[in-house]
């Protein structure tokens, strides 16, 4: 994981140090334009040569086509992504190009239609403004096709960000709903990197740190959104989860979530976390290293603590509450066949 990690309150003020005189394209969302964050960044650096601010949540190919063309009308040497995981994912997509900078080339790579390795990547500085997705520390970019009910991942070995700047001050304005969803996404990253065929002692150590920080702070933060201590601890939890799953990838909970999001329109952070208690129950007693990690996180070998935790956050663990009936269960199981994330998992999908 080659990304340089910078962490601290007001760390954004030092952005010009990492830009280092390079012509920079700023990728963000309309929400941050409205907040005045673009103007604030321009007080810290004079190297911004263009702004792309039309990124939406759950980016789809239909939207990215226009964004990609708009972005590459500018002459830039660096991309600065300021926003949540969707913004960072789109920034990664923009960063990949061929000699003619054609959108179709990157879409083909993402959909696995092009095997060519004749691509280049523009360096990225990512500044996450939510504590959740971990995209700033992984070589993956998630793109959705809601029309065909599919999730795609642009996965290139050198698609890591050059720098990830964690400034918990930037998360203070995140509303309760998004705070919970992104925090649960990070918790899923951490736990799934433990019951994972690619796990090792180093990734497990990071995952344990992450899960404990999130379990100890997310519920409190949801009732005290301006508490910078809770915000900082949650961002650290997200960062440690990124260290873990950038090496292992995710597993069964995320594999399940893709069907739940595309067919039932459930937000990703909920879709990938409401199954965690079930998966814990299914993996307990099968692998000593998993049991040891779960005991360290929860203080017991049981899903009881996380069930209480999710209930406190008003997150149901009942499939029926998400409109998932018996027919959906069968379709969901079928969707897991030959799914790479499901193949990573040591925990099985058994209701």
Given 99, 134, 168, the domain boundary residue is 168
Q: How far apart are CA 313 and CA 232, in angstroms?
A: 19
| pLDDT computed for residue 202 by the predictor | 98
Q: Are residues 40 and 127 located together in one domain of the fold? A: yes
Q: Are residues 248 and 306 located together in one domain of the fold? A: yes
186-218 as b/e, with b when 16 or more CB fall inside 10 Å?
bbbbbbbbbbbeebeeebbebbbbbbbbbbebb
Q: Are residues 121 and 216 located together in one domain of the fold? A: no
- Does a structural domain hold residue 230? yes
- Give the rounded distance of the alpha carbon of 53 from its chain centre: 19
| Cβ-based neighbour number of residue 317 at 10 Å | 17
Q: Are residues 120 and 198 located together in one domain of the fold? A: no
Given 109, 141, 168, the domain boundary residue is 168
Q: How far apart are CA 109 and CA 95, in angstroms?
A: 13
Total count of residues recorded for the chain: 351
| pLDDT computed for residue 288 by the predictor | 98
| Cβ-based neighbour number of residue 220 at 10 Å | 14
Q: Are residues 251 and 220 located together in one domain of the fold? A: yes
Count of the separate structural domains present in the chain: 2
- Does a structural domain hold residue 348? no
| pLDDT computed for residue 322 by the predictor | 98
- Diameter of the chain measured on Cα atoms: 57
Q: Which two tokens stand for residue 349?
A: 């999908």
Q: Are residues 130 and 212 located together in one domain of the fold? A: no
- Does a structural domain hold residue 349? no
Q: Are residues 29 and 54 located together in one domain of the fold? A: yes
Q: Output Rg (C-alpha) for the chain, integer angstroms.
A: 20
Question: Contact, 222 vs 243, CB < 8 A?
Answer: no
Given 168, 203, 232, the domain boundary residue is 168
Mean pLDDT per block of 10 residues along the chain (351 residues) reads: 95 97 96 87 96 91 93 96 95 96 95 87 97 93 90 93 97 95 98 98 98 98 98 98 96 96 95 98 98 98 98 98 97 94 96 85
- CATH code for the domain of 52: 3.40.50.1970
Q: Which domain holds residue 31?
A: 4-168
């Amino acid at each position: 994981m080659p990304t340089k990690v910078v962490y601290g309150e007001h760390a954004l003020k030092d952005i010009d140090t990492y830009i280092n005189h390079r012509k920079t394209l700023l990728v963000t969302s309309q929400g941050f334009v409205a907040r005045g964050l673009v103007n604030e960044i321009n007080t810290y650096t004079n190297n911004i040569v263009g702004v792309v601010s039309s990124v939406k949540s759950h980016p789809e190919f239909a939207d990215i086509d226009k964004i990609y063309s708009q972005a590459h009308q500018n002459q830039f040497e660096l991309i600065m992504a300021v926003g949540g995981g969707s913004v960072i994912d789109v920034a990664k997509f923009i960063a990949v190009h061929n000699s003619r900078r054609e959108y179709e080339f990157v879409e083909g790579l993402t959909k696995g239609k092009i095997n060519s390795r004749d691509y280049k990547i523009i360096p990225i500085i990512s500044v996450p403004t939510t504590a959740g997705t971990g995209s700033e520390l992984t070589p993956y970019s998630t793109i959705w096709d809601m029309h065909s009910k599919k999730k795609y991942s642009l996965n290139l070995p050198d698609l890591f960000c050059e720098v990830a700047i964690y400034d918990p001050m930037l998360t203070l304005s995140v509303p309760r709903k998004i705070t919970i969803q992104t925090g649960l996404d990070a918790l899923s990253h951490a736990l799934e990197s433990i019951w994972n065929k690619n796990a090792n002692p180093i990734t497990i150590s990071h995952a344990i740190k992450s899960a404990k920080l999130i379990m100890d702070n997310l519920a409190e933060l949801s009732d005290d959104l301006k508490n910078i201590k809770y915000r900082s601890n949650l961002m650290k939890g997200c960062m440690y989860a990124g260290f873990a799953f950038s090496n292992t990838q995710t597993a069964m909970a995320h594999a399940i979530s893709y069907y739940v999001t595309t067919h039932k329109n459930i937000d990703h952070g909920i879709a990938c976390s409401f199954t965690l208690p079930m998966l814990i129950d299914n993996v307990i007693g099968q692998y000593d290293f998993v049991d040891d990690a779960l005991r360290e996180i929860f203080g017991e070998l049981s899903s009881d603590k996380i069930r209480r935790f999710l209930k406190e956050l008003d997150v149901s663990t009942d499939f029926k509450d998400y409109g998932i009936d018996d027919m959906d269960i069968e379709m969901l199981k079928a969707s897991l066949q030959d799914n790479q994330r499901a193949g990573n998992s040591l925990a099985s999908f058994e209701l």
